[in-house]
Structure 1
């Protein structure tokens, strides 16, 4: 017995030592990660945080530290996952948590959430806090980013791939005149790499050759690299000379001349270099002007762009600041001037900016002054750093260094290609007869946010049409005759660099009878049932009708007066925390309103209410449809283009799954379509205006698609269905109230015609 007790005590002591050692390991790793994070050594700090998280997945301090590291070096998407996880676990983990959440949302294009977090952080600062200025800047950047992403420019930005880019920073792309040689700067690691104080390798210059198939060869270091930071800047004078940055005396510019297949010794650029930081330079095509970025002339130490002119004796003159509003209170860097000397590209942290460095453009006017800088917009610029813009000498392509989603590490090198316009034309004829159709409008509406929004209209003449669209986009095409939409199709145009591309697309519209009516047979099961007046909603604790409610009831009154034999039971509803008697008061308010519109008292009965939200339901007992949208007297001679709202097809916020009530409503629609097997309809999804425009567009398409899938699963022929997501377009009511938003979240059925 004593032996067993002694063994148990030894076991407990051993387990305690193991737990204590594990705790000490976690504590040590966390402290080391936090120490490196304070020094902004993100690459070296991250493994310590991840090591802690393998043992304690919910360690909030490790999650927070890892989120900040991922934001700066590896993956903004992972930063988002980690920062939201830590906030859900402990919203007080760090006093700057709202600032970092703002930064993460900003970098992940979640602009409304970024504004919310920045504003919370700003409100917790005193008015005299120096960080207030930074918060104002970040908030302005979010507004700019939101504007630019919504109105993007026609460019395709493509990563040069894993041969050129690594998990380290790649930047400063420089191409030869024939575009076959690429010089760039990288901090990638190898056996001979030396590390800087931040724990990452020093920058070296690499070169790569473009192969026949357009791919780049494995990069090789050039012989100019030293033991410190070296960076490529510019090839000039017919690729015989090269500008190079070296970290000497705070940072200086050097040049070298090609000697056969090697570069000569580096020489300092006299006339530019100072005791301070010279970050970048560019020599004009005629060799007479050198533009450079320096912090030598500013008290606050920010970079500005200056220039020097070559004198008659070949030396360089005095440095002069570049005028025209080019320089701001923030950094300006990486000047690039076109061969004609009239267009300047540069990167700046100031001006109207999306975040980090953005690329700007300025044009030299006839007066000799540079124009106000113009932001190149999205997708060239992003909420993070976009810098070292370099134009190709032989094409319209350009190169840039950028830290954006989908990259391989920190900054990567990207190729920028303009997206051209393309011509599209074709014939429009009528089915059955083959007749050419004239004076028909063809609407092309862009549905993918990859280029500037396009809304092109073509008119058919002699059965032909012609339009100009933008490549690398998707379009919804509608053929419209007056108010009638005769045909809806989709078109996807891939990326092309060919500005002379011509597409051909012919359309055959449905045969149209002389009258525009479409006879529709309604099945017997359609004529009775229980349904909700979806648009009758009340403010909490109240029974008074709003203007929006009255519009819905006006429709109900019209139906009831057309069907005097109809009898309706009105069932009011309340939330679970509201007075139950309020349900009957709501029913009475509906009853009184309908009576005031001429509905007979005999047709209305107020019954006990129920707990299911602030709404009113009806039980119908008459042969005829329960809603105006499917009133037999209306739908039997519905015009092509007429639309009917499926009132009881409900969706939860931000979801597109159908519930039981929705399926019951759709079953009625299915019965109509089966009674009318040649009927063609459009299923249109709509949202309110809450959330981002692009997200609402996608959500409306998914909701319309879920309706289509349900119809298909119940035997409806796909050829008779057309699915369109309209996003927050065509609201039925203002979106500034919940009642209005409920009206606008809807599914509409539009009659396209019969085969």
Structure 2
């Protein structure tokens, strides 16, 4: 009995010692966290507070502080669980917990709960300015409920590990032809190798080029663009030959550099004293299609309040003139940033903390009316492009099909990542393509993108299949076997086209063409690689009109064996079909699905029905009315290859037929 009592006493003592040591360790960590906060090192303070919670997870004030630090970070969505726990643990009323629960719920799109939190907080305060801020947040939450109930038909994809890392990547800029991506990153390997007090590397610019296989590994732009200080990307000219960057020289100014014929960037030079002020910040710049206007953001005097968007005109001597404020309805008493001018020359995209937003900065667009000389009321781009967090640095490819921006999302690669948005179809797609063609012709006339002694040329005429009349302004493309566009061009007024590609990868390719009022054209071509040789292939393209009963094959709509899910490489041709349907809004089509000859006929018929429905559902998700579409599975009937070896995917094809006009 004495031994048992002695054992219990020893055990109790050990536990007391352990609790005492843990308590001392907790206090020490919290003290270190508070010291880090005093030094404004919030990243280190957050790490230390999290360590303290591992020792004692039920400390209300530490949970609260972790929640607040997450709200002040790029990972705002992580704050909610800590603030809820702090509230449940009976946090002192000295802390405005209901306010921050509202903010955390808003960031997590729990808008109804956030409104409840904000209303409770509003009832306990009297400060007019604070009430005004709370009322704005309640308004944002109500907008969020509306936007999420009516999402826009877009698809958002992470650009993947070729571009994104554990470190922040943001502020993407892209050439109009979607071939050059330049962005800002704080990854290791920066030009100066210097870190700030939080351990983050200084900002540097990186560049990646797109091939038919996707974006290649980014390269640091190096000196003289990057230096030992901070440099960030803010804009690029439509042809990709001028790069606008932000340099932190005390106030923050906009600089520009140009690319030479040997593909090297010049030393950045200031855009001039009319744009860059002495006492204020200038950031976010974009050039108009004609190169005559520069839009930029600044907090200078003479604006509506905070950061505003300004525009300056290029003078006869090449300098930029005195800027003017865009005024209402674009600029407000809050902040407007990140201007981007569409290739159409009249649609301005920008981010604002005001207007009809759902929290933080939202992305808006406004259209300039040449007749009235006025901007339209800004329109929110909607959910899921916008969120309750800050949505900034939105840009578009020249054809309007893809948007790019940076965001912190669950499932990302670490910090901020760059994402691509497949945008809703546009009615002015052909006009944008014509402008892109102008850029290509100007750019490539002096700097061809291929080796003339090792190239492949395809030329001919685009003709009406019935009348043999020439078709002008037809889009002619060469695609690889995954549907990626290698090069494209528009046919001339006499129907002639001349398309050139570099012979880097030999193999099978597809020549495709499309013109308004006609169905798609597809033709297989084989490209061989031979050194010091220029191949020339003549191929006239005959397009069929979209007449009743006409049948068209969608070549790159692929399914795996015994599957009804669309393969990723199918999306390219489906996007072209979406353009066709938007250009011809009166037609209705039947989508026909087919299988190969493997398996039972009834099973194949059911499978082909599911495949046709998968295509229909994708079109509907991209904004096409379901009333214009019918899905029908044909099984292995009318199969092109009837089970021929190595061509199973062609048998598992998709067709469409015009059933009404």
The TM-score normalised by the length of structure 2 is 0.60
Q: 1:214: which partner in 2? A: 214
Q: Aligned equivalents of 1:348 and 1:100: distance in 2? A: 22
Q: Aligned equivalents of 1:367 and 1:82: distance in 2? A: 52
* 1:267 pairs with one of 266, 269, 273: 269
1:158/1:414 contact within 8 Å kept: yes
Cα distance change, pair 468–334 in 1 and its aligned pair in 2 (3 A): farther
Of stretches 277-286 and 30-39 in structure 1, the one that deviates more from structure 2 is 30-39
CA offset at residue 68 of structure 1? 3.1
Q: Aligned equivalents of 2:104 and 2:339: distance in 1? A: 29
CA offset at residue 72 of structure 1? 4.5
Say yes or no: does 1:337 pair with 2:341: yes
Q: Aligned equivalents of 1:173 and 1:59: distance in 2? A: 41
Q: Aligned equivalents of 2:166 and 2:58: distance in 1? A: 27
Say yes or no: does 1:255 pair with 2:229: no
1:49-88 map, 5 Å: 49-73=49-73, 75-88=75-88
2:67/2:78 contact within 8 Å kept: yes
Of stretches 293-302 and 361-370 in structure 1, the one that deviates more from structure 2 is 293-302
1:269-418 map, 5 Å: 269-270=271-272, 271-275=274-278, 276-297=280-301, 302-365=306-369, 366-394=371-399, 396-418=401-423
Question: Deviation digits for residues 50-74 of structure 1, max 9, x if unmatched?
Answer: 2112211222233223333344446
Question: Deviation digits for residues 459-485 of structure 1, max 9, x if unmatched?
Answer: xxxxxx96899xxxxxxxxxxxxxxxx
CA offset at residue 344 of structure 1? 0.8
Say yes or no: does 1:170 pair with 2:173: no
CA offset at residue 39 of structure 1? 7.0
Question: Deviation digits for residues 322-353 of structure 1, max 9, x if unmatched?
Answer: 13411001111111112342111111111111
Q: Aligned equivalents of 2:215 and 2:322: distance in 1? A: 44
1:326/1:373 contact within 8 Å kept: yes
Q: Secondary structure at the match of 1:505?
A: strand
Q: Aligned equivalents of 2:51 and 2:93: distance in 1? A: 19
Q: Aligned equivalents of 1:21 and 1:196: distance in 2? A: 34
1:173/1:401 contact within 8 Å kept: yes
Question: Deviation digits for residues 697-744 of structure 1, max 9, x if unmatched?
Answer: xxxxxxxxxxxxxxxxxxxxxxxxxxxxxxxxxxxxxxxxxxxxxxxx
1:117-266 map, 5 Å: 117-126=117-126, 128-189=127-188, 193-218=193-218, 220-223=220-223, 224-236=225-237, 238-259=239-260, 260-266=262-268
1:43/1:200 contact within 8 Å kept: no
The TM-score normalised by the length of structure 1 is 0.53
Q: Aligned equivalents of 1:377 and 1:46: distance in 2? A: 33
Q: Aligned equivalents of 2:10 and 2:128: distance in 1? A: 57
Of stretches 30-39 and 141-150 in structure 1, the one that deviates more from structure 2 is 30-39
Cα distance change, pair 188–93 in 1 and its aligned pair in 2 (3 A): farther
Structure ID, larger Rg: 1
2:175/2:238 contact within 8 Å kept: no
Q: Aligned equivalents of 2:386 and 2:63: distance in 1? A: 29
Measured on the aligned residues, the alpha-carbon RMSD in Å equals: 3.9
Q: Aligned equivalents of 1:182 and 1:242: distance in 2? A: 11
Q: Aligned equivalents of 2:326 and 2:388: distance in 1? A: 26
2:49/2:62 contact within 8 Å kept: yes
Q: Aligned equivalents of 1:319 and 1:218: distance in 2? A: 35
Q: 2:99: which partner in 1? A: 99
1:440-589 map, 5 Å: 493=616, 495=618, 504-506=630-632
1:343/1:364 contact within 8 Å kept: yes
Q: Secondary structure at the match of 2:141?
A: helix
Cα distance change, pair 405–467 in 1 and its aligned pair in 2 (3 A): farther
CA offset at residue 29 of structure 1? 1.8
Unmatched 5+ stretches in structure 1: 424-464, 470-489, 508-755
Q: Aligned equivalents of 1:110 and 1:327: distance in 2? A: 29
Q: 1:25: which partner in 2? A: 25
1:77/1:405 contact within 8 Å kept: no
Unmatched 5+ stretches in structure 2: 427-518, 520-586, 592-611, 634-661
Q: Secondary structure at the match of 1:387?
A: coil
Cα distance change, pair 168–43 in 1 and its aligned pair in 2 (3 A): farther
Cα distance change, pair 93–181 in 1 and its aligned pair in 2 (3 A): farther
Q: Aligned equivalents of 2:36 and 2:356: distance in 1? A: 33
2:186/2:204 contact within 8 Å kept: yes
Q: Aligned equivalents of 2:122 and 2:36: distance in 1? A: 27
CA offset at residue 246 of structure 1? 0.7
Q: Aligned equivalents of 1:187 and 1:217: distance in 2? A: 16
Q: Secondary structure at the match of 2:156?
A: strand
2:424/2:622 contact within 8 Å kept: no
Cα distance change, pair 395–353 in 1 and its aligned pair in 2 (3 A): closer
